[in-house]
Chain A
Amino acid sequence: MDTLRSRAEILKLARLLDVEPRKLAFLEELPVEDVRAFRERSVAALFDGAPGLLDRIAAKTRLLPAGIAAGISQKALGPQLAAALAGRLEPGRAADIIERLPPEFTARCCHHVDPRRIAGIMGRLDDDIVVRIALVLADRRDHLTMGRFVGHLRDSALLRILPRLDDTTLLLTGFVIDHPEQLGRIVELLGEERVSSVIASAADGGLWPEAMAVASMSSGEQRARIASLTAAQPEARLDSLVRTTAEQNLWESLLPIVAALDEDELRAVAALPSLRDPAVLDGLVRGVVATGLWAEFLPMVAALPPTARRIVAKAAGALSDPDLDALAGGVEKEDLWELVFPLVELMNDGARKRIFELPAFQERAAG
């Protein structure tokens, strides 16, 4: 999950600083919370240091009727200056002016608005205006700006906006949502049929990483529903999910979703052709070693067909001593030995001997 969250954070920071995202790719190595904190400090550095000119204009604007201020904003100030000004006005006053502006103009301003002022302004705007602005942003494919705003929208506005956005827009916006705690509410408003359609579009449009990120950011119960709806997709789509995960090493994102499936669904996923590919399974084992997601992984192994289980056993048996030790430590921590023993039985003698000699296993045997 962190890989995907890092990608989203880098997109947001790159947009803020107006640089190519690939130039900031090195930030993927840092904790995503720190990259987010850096972005928030960058927002403060850029927006709090605005020239006194803005305060002077804001002071003058307060004296004008909202309609005249809107006219001046549109005809004289332009989107960047109007947005900067909106950040200097009281939210209620900014909303009064915005309601008198054409949505096309406001949509062009949105990207330049101080992100910290969005909640205050959005809460005061009429639904009609919000819907029209959102649709213009969608037409402009400005998903990063939509991601900033969407978490602040009322249900009444979302219910009018969501049916009019295509699946790709929903995925790309959800991927960069600034307030992921609001995703649950939005997924609920979408309904199961639409979520299924979005999942199908993720498969067909090469957007599995975005879909996984959205599922991972959703709450436990909703993640389980998204996981079930995903498992109900045709085999070819699910296979493309596993292949994408393997290619981009996103097991840390997929495994918690798989772990939310019930037994029948898990068996359907475990029977996928891609999960018989030794290269995929080898990457999966290494992904689990790196992330420590043993509790999510081992139940899936138990559901794999015997051939695939033997490949996993072989991959696990070929792990280096430190990685094998990490495996044992993870299994011990989560008390998952019952799920490991069938796997150990499939290993060759050398690998089995190495497992039995591990301190964690010795302690288990002694205990």
Chain B
Amino acid sequence: MSAEELALLRAELGAPPPESFGSLDDTQARTLTLALRRARERRASGLNEAVEDALTLVPALTREPLRRMLFR
């Protein structure tokens, strides 16, 4: 794994990967980096969507009070 790919993986992981991961090639390292990044993005957008979905489940009149109470 090149130093550049290692730095990207480390940044996405927020910690150094285990030492043996240094034996992965750049393509494999990139697979992990992208998978982590996408998982994080999906998780964040999933939570935002869940907030919006949540608000559609309650009666329209109570939506804004609930949004203020829980989400702001």
Q: State in angstroms the CA–CA spacing of A56 and B21 once bound together.
A: 37
Please name 10 further chain A to chain B contacts, defined as beta carbons within 8 Å, in addition to the given A26-B24, A38-B17, A54-B47, sorted by A numbering: A23-B31, A24-B31, A24-B32, A30-B24, A38-B18, A42-B36, A44-B14, A46-B43, A57-B71, A78-B53
Closest partner residue, chain A, to B11 (CB atom): A45
| B-side contacts of A76, CB under 8 Å | 54-55, 57-58, 66, 70
| B-side contacts of A45, CB under 8 Å | 12-15, 36, 40
Closest partner residue, chain B, to A79 (CB atom): B50
Could you give 30 example pairs across A and B, Cβ below 8 Å?
Answer: A17-B36, A26-B24, A26-B28, A30-B23, A30-B24, A34-B21, A38-B21, A38-B32, A41-B13, A41-B15, A42-B13, A44-B15, A45-B36, A45-B40, A46-B40, A50-B43, A50-B47, A51-B47, A53-B71, A56-B70, A57-B70, A72-B70, A75-B58, A76-B54, A76-B66, A80-B46, A80-B47, A81-B50, A81-B51, A81-B54
Q: Is A161 an interface position by the 8 A CB rule?
A: no
Q: Is A234 an interface position by the 8 A CB rule?
A: no
- Asked if B70 and A60 sit within 8 Å, CB to CB, the answer is yes
Q: State in angstroms the CA–CA spacing of A57 and B53 once bound together.
A: 15
Q: Is A367 an interface position by the 8 A CB rule?
A: no
Q: State in angstroms the CA–CA spacing of A37 and B13 once bound together.
A: 11
Q: Is the interface of A mostly helix, strand, loop or mixed?
A: helix
Q: Is A77 an interface position by the 8 A CB rule?
A: yes
Q: State in angstroms the CA–CA spacing of A60 and B35 once bound together.
A: 33
Q: How many residues of B contact A (CB 8 A)?
A: 36
What 0/1 readout, one digit per residue, does chain B (52-72) give for beta carbons within 8 Å of chain A? Answer: 011101100000001001111
> Which of B50, B69, B72 is the most central at the interface, judged by chain A CB atoms within 10 Å of its CB?
B50
Interface range for A: 35 or more
| A-side contacts of B32, CB under 8 Å | 24, 38
- Asked if A51 and B44 sit within 8 Å, CB to CB, the answer is yes
- Give the distance to chain A from B9, nearest Cβ to Cβ, in Å: 10
Known: A26-B24, A38-B17. A78 touches B39 (CB 8 A): no
Partner of A60, one of B53, B54, B69: B69
Q: State in angstroms the CA–CA spacing of A30 and B23 once bound together.
A: 8
Q: Which 3 A-B pairs have the closest CB atoms?
A: A34-B18, A81-B50, A76-B54
| A-side contacts of B69, CB under 8 Å | 60
Q: State in angstroms the CA–CA spacing of A34 and B24 once bound together.
A: 13
| B-side contacts of A38, CB under 8 Å | 13, 17-18, 21, 32
Q: State in angstroms the CA–CA spacing of A75 and B66 once bound together.
A: 12
Closest partner residue, chain B, to A77 (CB atom): B54
Closest partner residue, chain A, to B39 (CB atom): A17
- Give the distance to chain A from B32, nearest Cβ to Cβ, in Å: 8
| A-side contacts of B38, CB under 8 Å | 17-18
| A-side contacts of B19, CB under 8 Å | 34
Q: State in angstroms the CA–CA spacing of A57 and B12 once bound together.
A: 26
> Which of A34, A48, A76 is the most central at the interface, judged by chain B CB atoms within 10 Å of its CB?
A76
| B-side contacts of A16, CB under 8 Å | 39
- Give the distance to chain B from A295, nearest Cβ to Cβ, in Å: 27
> Which of A26, A29, A81 is the most central at the interface, judged by chain B CB atoms within 10 Å of its CB?
A81
Q: State in angstroms the CA–CA spacing of A103 and B55 once bound together.
A: 23
Q: Is A130 an interface position by the 8 A CB rule?
A: no
Partner of B51, one of A37, A41, A53, A61: A53
Within 8 A of B (CB), among A77-122: 77-78, 80-81, 84
Closest partner residue, chain B, to A33 (CB atom): B18
